[in-house]
């Protein structure tokens, strides 16, 4: 294939079949270590002529997953990690050292916010959180010690779409690196590396895996930065297990199909709820890409809705602290994803007791809409 499309590449990623040739799918290399026939063979590993020694360092399954996501993001290299959070940490530590400074978007996922504001200072890294809605503010926050700008391609939970090209332009002028969490968009919708972003991170737990049965992260970028990040993964023990990598790789093959349906469904849900009298605000991107606008819809309910009753009346829709499975689920940012933020921090970015994040699944969109509207209307305070 000279120039295969996204949907073809994701199914036919060329995996390393040298260990077990002719297998249609890559076997699960559920081993902690690899053996050697003699000392010369062992030495060949350290000379770079043999790829595998110890699974904490590399494994065929984690390599295949990292390679797949890197290819889809059109990046040269990738590394798979134990979670999205460990992938973010590895990426940051690949760029920033003690005494350095990073600038991050204040409206990122709550777990990322906590990592950046509470944990990075213990590594000796200074942090400034600012609104990336006005990129002039971002540029003004850069100092001579700044090494990295960090944001999300689509923010969590209000779905602000980042101006990646302008962000890259600022980074280029200032001589700093960029890192973007592309979890919500996935490479099906956006490919930040192609826009000049240095590092792209995914919580593979979400759409890459797609079936709510794995926890993993993937970081992609140029070979130099990924080599540095991989060393952090090895040293910190943040590696992904072979079985988790295998499951994620299996799920990834249907990413295009799932995102197409889920994005379509989300668009229909957003339209249906936008003019409902009991929904104060609907947050859904007007435009992400020609393929769609994402599978997350965030709503703010009217104050007359009893939130406790609403969550008790969802029927077949599940309450979950995560997102992106094939089933439609709801989360409550104030008590889950952004629980660690202070009241003032949540208020600053707009999260209140009536904000609900909807992760739209692959069910028929009319069924999703009917269940949501009936739940909302049955939850009004009497």
- Cα separation, 45 vs 38, in Å, equals 12
- Buried b or exposed e, range 259-287, using 16+ CB within 10 angstroms: bbbbbbbbbbbbebbeebebbeebbbbee
Residue 140's closest CA among 108, 124, 131? 131
Q: In this structure, is the dihedral angle defined by the CA atoms of residues 304, 263, 209 and 211, taken in order, positive or negative?
A: positive
Question: What's the mean pLDDT in 345-351?
Answer: 87
Q: Quick one: CATH architecture of 255-377? A: Alpha-Beta Complex (3.90)
Local confidence band at 180 (pLDDT 50, 70, 90 cut-offs): very high
pLDDT at 27: 92
Which residues, in sequence order, are bridge partners of residue 148? Answer: 102, 177
* Whole-number average pLDDT of the chain: 95
Local confidence band at 316 (pLDDT 50, 70, 90 cut-offs): very high
- Cα separation, 47 vs 34, in Å, equals 16
Q: At what angle do helices 365-377 and 255-274 cross, to 10 degrees?
A: 40
Reported as a single tens digit per residue, the pLDDT across 6-61 is: 888 878 876 665 666 678 888 999 999 999 999 999 999 999 888 999 999 999 99
- Cα separation, 206 vs 153, in Å, equals 15
Local confidence band at 339 (pLDDT 50, 70, 90 cut-offs): confident
pLDDT at 103: 98
Reported as a single tens digit per residue, the pLDDT across 60-69 is: 999 999 999 9
Reported as a single tens digit per residue, the pLDDT across 80-111 is: 999 999 999 999 999 999 999 999 999 999 99
Which fold would CATH assign to domain 6-252? 3.40.640
CA count, 13 A, side-chain hemisphere, 365: 16
E strand intervals along 132-181: 146-152, 177-181
- Cα separation, 8 vs 2, in Å, equals 12
Q: Token pair of 215, please?
A: 């926890």
Decide: 64 and 58 in contact? Cβ < 8 Å: no
Question: What's the mean pLDDT in 214-239?
Answer: 98
pTM given for the model: 0.93
* Identical fold, 6-252 and 255-377: no
Question: What's the mean pLDDT in 333-358?
Answer: 88
- Domain-by-domain residue ranges, the chain? 6-252, 255-377
């Amino acid at each position: 294939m000279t120039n295969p499309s996204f949907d073809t590449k994701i199914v036919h990623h060329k995996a390393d079949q040298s260990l077990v040739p002719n297998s249609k799918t890559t076997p699960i290399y559920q081993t902690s270590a690899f053996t050697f026939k003699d000392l010369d063979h062992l030495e060949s590993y350290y000379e770079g002529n043999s790829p595998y020694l110890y699974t904490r360092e590399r494994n065929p399954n984690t390599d295949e997953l990292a390679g797949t996501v890197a290819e889809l993001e059109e990046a040269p290299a990738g590394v798979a990690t134990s979670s999205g959070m460990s992938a973010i940490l590895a990426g940051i530590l690949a760029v920033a050292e003690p005494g350095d400074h990073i600038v991050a978007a204040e409206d990122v996922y709550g777990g990322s916010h906590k990592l950046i504001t509470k944990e990075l200072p213990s590594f000796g890294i200074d942090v400034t959180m600012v609104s990336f809605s006005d990129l002039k503010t971002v540029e003004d926050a850069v100092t001579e010690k700044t090494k990295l700008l960090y944001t999300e391609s689509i923010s969590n939970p209000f779905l602000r779409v980042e101006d990646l090209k302008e962000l890259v332009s600022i980074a280029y002028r200032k001589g700093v690196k960029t890192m973007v969490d592309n979890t919500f968009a996935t490479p099906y919708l956006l490919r930040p590396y192609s826009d000049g972003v240095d590092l792209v991170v995914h919580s593979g737990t979400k759409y890459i895996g797609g079936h709510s049965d794995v926890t993993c992260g993937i970081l992609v970028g140029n070979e130099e930065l990924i080599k540095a990040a991989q060393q952090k993964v090895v040293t910190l023990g943040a590696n992904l297990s072979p079985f988790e990598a295998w499951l994620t790789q299996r799920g990834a093959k249907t990413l295009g199909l799932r995102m197409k349906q889920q994005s379509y469904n989300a668009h229909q849900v957003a339209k249906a709820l936008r003019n409902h009298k009991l929904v104060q605000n609907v947050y859904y991107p007007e435009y992400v890409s020609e393929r769609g606008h994402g599978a997350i819809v965030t709503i703010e309910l009217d104050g007359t809705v009893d939130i406790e009753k609403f969550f008790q009346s969802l029927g077949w829709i599940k309450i979950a602290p995560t997102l992106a499975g094939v089933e439609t689920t709801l989360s409550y940012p104030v008590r889950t994803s952004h629980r660690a933020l202070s009241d003032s921090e949540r208020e600053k970015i707009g999260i209140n007791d009536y904000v609900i994040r909807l992760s739209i699944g692959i069910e028929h969109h009319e069924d999703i809409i009917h269940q949501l509207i009936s739940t909302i209307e049955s939850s009004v305070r009497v």
